[in-house]
Amino acid sequence: MPVVDTSPDSVSSVLKVFGILQALGEQKEIGVTELSQRIMMSKSTVYRFLQTMKTLGYVNQEGESDKYTLSLKLFELGGKALEHQELIPIADIQMHRLGKLTKETLHLGALDEDSIVYLHKVDSEYNLRMYSRIGRRRPLYSTALGKVMMAWLPEEEVRGMLANVSFERFTEHTLTDIDALLAQLVLVREQGYAEDNEEMEPGLRCFAVPIYSRMGRIIAGLSLSLPLVRFSEENKEELVGLLHEAAARISAELGFHDYPFLAR
């Protein structure tokens, strides 16, 4: 399995990493010498890559021996990708059902490093609607989806996730620091949903609830957005209830049947 090394350094390194991973995937355990021969790479280069991959958690070293094996981290990554492939068609049915009931904009979003990413969307039936697109990244601290994805994470993980994030002030209501955000996340956990109260765009309200995988892990959020001109506090409980019902059905289709926020 030769690795062509005529590309720029960065591309060549990626090819080498995947060559090592593929070789490790074909054999339960393998030593540096044998691995270097199989992929036609120097022992020193193979060893350097293996040590980096070991530090990142993608390979294990068998004690103090020269043998290396794949860890389960790639399995975890594959599992996450599979969850999202299952998630979108399942969520689409419930989102369209909810869209018919509310006529408002609905988003399915997932956590990606220090941002939320829109995986799917159902547009409002009104002319006055929220502008967004699938694949767009939005900040965690100023969106309901971001807050609902962070609310059940350990505080130190949230702090680490946002350590290099500047809290840009999009409106006068945008949270400006991590401590203010953490205080809101406590409330999100207590009530089971998150809010964006004109924190991202003036005149726009948004509510989001969690979606669970079969293992009981929050893998996505479902949100409803609407302009203030169509919102009243009297209807908030009903809207959040409809979101929870839809998220519970999506979670159940994914194999999780103990959704915690129904009939509160």
Please report which confidence band the pLDDT of residue 6 belongs to, taking 50, 70 and 90 as the band edges.
Answer: very low
Average pLDDT over residues 213-235: 91
Structural domains in the chain, sorted by start:
9-71 (1.10.10.10), 77-253 (3.30.450.40)
The two structure tokens encoding residue 147? 């807050």
How far apart CA 96 and CA 88 sit, in angstroms, is 12
Please report which confidence band the pLDDT of residue 73 belongs to, taking 50, 70 and 90 as the band edges.
Answer: confident
What DSSP designation does 4 have?
Answer: -
Burial (CB < 10 A; 0-12, 13-18, 19+), residue 149, is buried
Query: How high is the pLDDT of residue 3?
Result: 42
**Is 2 a residue whose pLDDT tops 50?**
no
Query: How high is the pLDDT of residue 64?
Result: 64
| Per-residue pLDDT tens digits for 115-147 | 899 899 998 877 765 666 787 889 999 999 999
DSSP 104-151: SEEEEEEEETTEEEEEEEE--SSSS-----TT-EEESTTSHHHHHHHT
Query: How high is the pLDDT of residue 179?
Result: 93
